[in-house]
Structures are given as structure tokens and as C-alpha cells.
Amino acid sequence: MSETSGEAGGTPGERISDAEHAIMEVLWDRHPLSAAEVCDEVCETRGWSMPTVKTLLSRLVGKGALATEPAGRKFLYSPLIERSDYVGGESRRLVDRLFGGRAASLFAHLAESEALTDEDLGEIERLLKEMRK
């Protein structure tokens, strides 16, 4: 199931929290994984325990972002939403919420705050040229 709005299933408008996003990143990179394998990837760096990971996995299943399949005495988790769809939805939401729906305003803000490097500007110029073809 691919959500083009970037929102997971479950209750409409349910968003993925920052903590849940960390779990999704692990599973977008490699899946299916057990809760223990996810914990191996995130627990030490985030200071989380296995119960924390299991809670986050359960929430993501409830939101329709993850699928589970039994594998012996454990469950394996896989994403139901694509990373690109999620990023697209979150990007659109950011532009809508902070910049009145205008991506140009976002770029202007980044340029004014000197957040764009020369390399970034070159890449943006290349992308714009490709889009105009």
C-alpha cells in the first residue's frame, strides 16, 4: 500500500512521530526485520530499550505504516509506505504550513539564511533545467 499523501493508514491524518520515523528508516533500508533486529540498529544510539522499540513498532502497525508476519515465535516487520511517498508528503506539509504552499518561499528563506551551499545551488539549477526540458 503506497500512500501518496505521505500519511500512514489507520486514522486519517495520523502522522509518524520523530521516534517512529527512526524505526521506519531502519525498515526502509532493510526488511523484513524482527523487533530485536530493529533494536540492534537503534537502541544504543537512541538510548532505547526493547520495550520502547516494540511500542513504536506496534504504533506503526496500528497506523498502517508497517505490516507484520509471524516467523516462529517472533514477528517480522516490513514497511507498507514507501520512503519517497512519506518524504513527499512531509515536504508538501512543510511548504504548506510554513510557506503558504509556495516552494519558492522555502528556497528564498534557505538562501537568505545562508543554508544553501554553492553545491546545493548548482544541484537546484541542474534540477530546474531538467524540469524545463
pLDDT of 14? 72
pLDDT of 54? 97
Residue spans of the domains in the chain: they are 1-100, 102-133
CA distance 62 to 20: 12
CA distance 26 to 23: 5
Task: Going from the first residue of the chain to its last (133 residues), give the mean pLDDT of each consecutive group of 10, the final group possibly shorter.
Answer: 39 76 97 98 97 98 96 96 91 90 87 87 87 86
pLDDT of 10? 44
| CATH pick for 1-100 out of 3.40.50.150, 1.10.645.10, 3.30.530.20, 1.10.10.10 | 1.10.10.10
Q: Are strands 66-71 and 33-34 parallel, antiparallel or unpaired?
A: unpaired
